Amino acid sequence: MSRKGEKLGKRLVHWFTYNVAFALFPLFSSLFFRFLAGKLTIKDLESSPELLFFSIMLSANALAALRELTGSIERDTKLIIFESALFLGAVCSAVLYGGFIFEAIVGANIPGFQSKIFRSSVALAMVLGILSTLVEIFIGKIKNTTDSK
């Protein structure tokens, strides 16, 4: 493996460990405690917003990494698109969290509401997971290029 490949690999391992794993910790903890309490059902899972915490953390960390990078390189279209998509993902996560809270506050038992929010949360988490991985690869390649100059 080349020196650049090693640096990118280390960056991705570091990112996965400190961003993905720690962001998933509340979800795994919730699932573990629900399992211990004998309440690990799909209905209970649908009513827990921990997956949105994961989405917000991935967006926030990738945005922070991009903001740190913008001081050392010129802002191009790809960088602006990444920033905009991550920001939109964080906002969508917050809106979906508001939907979780809405039903609890209003006391409305809207059939299928939390199930639809949960499905949207899963889709959003998958998209933001892929996007933040692409951002980390993008940043790693740029840093390898700027380090070799």
pLDDT confidence bin for 114, thresholds 50/70/90: confident
Residue 114, Cβ density class (10 Å: 0-12 exposed, 13-18 middle, ≥19 buried)? buried
Q: What is the mean pLDDT of residues 66-87?
A: 84
> Are the CB atoms for 82 and 90 separated by under 8 Å?
no
pLDDT above 70: residue 122: yes
Q: Residue-wise over 12-51: b if at least 16 C-beta within 10 A, else e?
A: eeebeeebbeebbebbeebbeeeeeeeeeeeeebbebbbb
11: number of Cβ within 10 Å: 18
Specify the pTM: 0.83
Q: How much is the pLDDT for 120?
A: 94
Q: How much is the pLDDT for 95?
A: 94
Local structure of 73: helix, strand or coil: coil
Q: Which two tokens stand for residue 54?
A: 């994961």
